[in-house]
Structure 1
Amino acid sequence: MIELNQVNKIFSAKKRSVHALNDVSLHVKKGEIYGVIGYSGAGKSTLIRCVNMLERPTEGSIRVNGVEMTKLAAPKLREARKNIGMIFQGFNLLKTATVYENIAIPLKLTGVPKSEIDRRVKKYLDVVGLEEKADSYPAQLSGGQKQRVAIARALSHEPEVLLSDEATSALDPETTEAILELLLKINQEFGITILLITHEMHVIQKICDRVAVMENGKVIEEGRVIDIFSKAAHETTKKFMNSLFPEDIPEEVLMSLHQQGPIIRLAFVGQSTGKPALAEVAKRFDVYTNIMSGNIVQLKNEPYGRMIVHLQGSVEQTEAAIAFLVEEGVYVERVDGP
């Protein structure tokens, strides 16, 4: 549905060049929710703006639903953009227009008949749960309600692709949850492909099927969310993971414990999160298990748990315990060891 191949974007400013995107290639499948995460300056905003040509790439190919966006002249580009909705962090609502008008005016400007405008406005206000706010003005709405209006406006063009540019970063945690649930509903009910960018790992965890991690204009890690959670390889990815699974264990503690046995990181996926694996280890082997940190979160389709455990015992017994955990479907990674 969305294909980026070897995309580069170079900005020139004050006699120097900034390489905002560096040989970026991504393939977003039809009907999935694909997340791009990175810290400020990683290039993710430039990337998403290149998809609908708000920023034109310096080099590379961008195809949306089979259409090569970089080759389109202005009239054809305007037509192609009707198939690509976009929601922003700042809502971008007209302050002097009602909720109804904020959705209707863009439709009118693109030549949609009046009767069809009325149908779409009412339909998508109902989808986002704001049908009773049709005559309200943006100043009378909460931040979450404003974002719902922006989502209804994007949906009113009935696109196949929805781009989300940090849509929840200005919202409080409870409202963020509600907006994420709404995006999930839209994806499931309408089959709309969603490409979103964020700096919050919680957003990726909650609704995404696959994720790309960006740093300095490059994609440094990419794959299914469950795989990235289980086998994060890059240090930046591990930092994002630490926001969900804090592992701030003092170095002195690690040094002291590793002399008595290995310290391991365990990852539990799906049904294995409910297995009493550590209890079985304590029964089967002559080892003591000390849980140093841990948490379970719900991914889009399955639960995922992670913990840091110290195994105290002989080398023979601790190695046998680790082998047993692997056989039980638990991902095991050594944090430190004797």
Structure 2
Amino acid sequence: MIVLENISKTFPSKNGVIKAVEEVTLHVRKGEIHGVIGYSGAGKSTLIRCVNLLERPTKGKVYINGQEITSLPNNELREVRKKIGMIFQGFNLLKTATVYDNVAIPLKLLGFSKEEVKKRVEKYLSIVGLEDKHHAYPSQLSGGQKQRVAIARALAQEPEILLSDEATSALDPETTDSILDLLLKINQELGITILLITHEMNVIQKICDYVYVMERGRIVEHGTTIELFTNPTHHTTKKFLSTIVQRKLSPSLISQLNVNGVVSRLTFVGESTGKPLLAEVSQKFNVKPNILAANIIELKNGIVGNIVVHLIGESEDIQAAIQYLRSQGVGTEELEG
């Protein structure tokens, strides 16, 4: 559906050339939701703007539905862009236009009939839950409602692809969840392929099938959401995951809990989530597991359980217990600290 092939984008500056994106390749399959996560300055916004050529890549090719679009003339590119909707962090609504007109004006500019405009505006305002806000102005709406108007405006052109540029960054957690639920609904019911960028791990967690981790213009790690949540390898990925899963023990915590010895993070996924493995460890080996923290992460396509455990016993027994857990499909990682 979307293929970026060795995309690079540079910008001139007083201090030389800025490499915003370097040699990025990614593939988004039809009907899936893919996310690109990275910290500020990683190059995410530049990358997503290369998909619809709002930013033309310095190097590389962009394919949409198998068609290479980077070499298209402007008139043909405009036709391709009609099938690519985009939503932004700042909503980009016309302040002096009603909700109805914010959705209708782009359709009118594209030459749709009055009847078709009315049909589409009513349909998509209903889908985003704003059927009672036709005559309201942006100043009368909450942040979440403004983003819903922006989503309705993007959907009204009936795109096959929706690009999301930090669409939830300006919203509170509860409103963010409601917008993510809406994006999931759009993906599942309308079959729209979604590519989003974010710096929020909970966005990736809730709706993405596949994730790319970006740093300094490059993709440093990628995989299915479950793969990255259970077995991250790059330090940037681990840093993002530390906002959800404990990956380091602070000196104060070590002192308060009187922790001395091996502390591991155990990751349970699939069949291992339903087994009493820690109880088995205490019975099979001369090891006492002391649970320090635990949580369950619900992903779009699965559940991941995490337990931070202090294993008390002789070194050989602890290693045997860890090997047993691994043999049962449990991921193990010794924590720092």
The aligned residue for residue 18 of structure 2 is: 18
Q: Secondary structure at the match of 2:42?
A: coil
Which residue identity is paired with 2:216? N
The separation in 1 between residues aligned to 2:148 and 2:239, in whole angstroms, is: 31
Which residue identity is paired with 2:151? I
Q: Secondary structure at the match of 2:244?
A: coil
The separation in 2 between residues aligned to 1:291 and 1:237, in whole angstroms, is: 25
Query: Are 2:249 and 2:335, in contact at CA under 8 Å, matched by a contact in 1?
Result: no
Deviation of 1:272 after TM superposition, in Å, equals 2.7
The separation in 1 between residues aligned to 2:280 and 2:141, in whole angstroms, is: 54
Deviation of 1:111 after TM superposition, in Å, equals 1.2
Q: Secondary structure at the match of 2:132?
A: helix
The separation in 1 between residues aligned to 2:117 and 2:166, in whole angstroms, is: 28
Query: Are 1:247 and 1:293, in contact at CA under 8 Å, matched by a contact in 2?
Result: no
Alignment identity in percent? 61
The separation in 1 between residues aligned to 2:146 and 2:122, in whole angstroms, is: 16
The aligned residue for residue 147 of structure 1 is: 147
The aligned residue for residue 188 of structure 1 is: 188
TM-score (norm 2): 0.95
Which residue identity is paired with 2:241? M
Query: Are 2:226 and 2:301, in contact at CA under 8 Å, matched by a contact in 1?
Result: no
Query: Are 2:246 and 2:308, in contact at CA under 8 Å, matched by a contact in 1?
Result: no
Deviation of 1:73 after TM superposition, in Å, equals 1.3
Relative to structure 1, is the Cα distance of residues 253 and 183 closer, same or farther in structure 2, using a 3 angstrom cutoff?
closer
Further displaced range: 16-25 or 108-117:
108-117
The separation in 2 between residues aligned to 1:100 and 1:83, in whole angstroms, is: 21
Deviation of 1:261 after TM superposition, in Å, equals 4.5
Count of residue pairs the alignment pairs up:
337
The aligned residue for residue 117 of structure 2 is: 117
Q: Deviations over 1:133-183 (max 9, x none)?
A: 011111111000000010011001111100000000000000000000000
The separation in 2 between residues aligned to 1:336 and 1:141, in whole angstroms, is: 46
The aligned residue for residue 175 of structure 1 is: 175
Query: Are 2:206 and 2:299, in contact at CA under 8 Å, matched by a contact in 1?
Result: yes
1:285 equivalent in alignment to 2:285: yes
Which residue identity is paired with 1:296? I
1:326 equivalent in alignment to 2:302: no
Which residue identity is paired with 2:328? E
The gaps in structure 2 that reach 5 residues or longer are none
Query: Are 1:89 and 1:167, in contact at CA under 8 Å, matched by a contact in 2?
Result: yes
The aligned residue for residue 262 of structure 1 is: 262
TM-score (norm 1): 0.95
Relative to structure 1, is the Cα distance of residues 169 and 135 closer, same or farther in structure 2, using a 3 angstrom cutoff?
same
List 4+ stretches of structure 1 deviating above 4 A: 251-261
The aligned residue for residue 49 of structure 2 is: 49
Q: Secondary structure at the match of 1:71?
A: coil
1:65 equivalent in alignment to 2:65: yes
The separation in 1 between residues aligned to 2:256 and 2:327, in whole angstroms, is: 29
Which residue identity is paired with 1:168? T
Relative to structure 1, is the Cα distance of residues 258 and 10 closer, same or farther in structure 2, using a 3 angstrom cutoff?
farther
Query: Are 2:247 and 2:336, in contact at CA under 8 Å, matched by a contact in 1?
Result: no
Deviation of 1:325 after TM superposition, in Å, equals 1.4
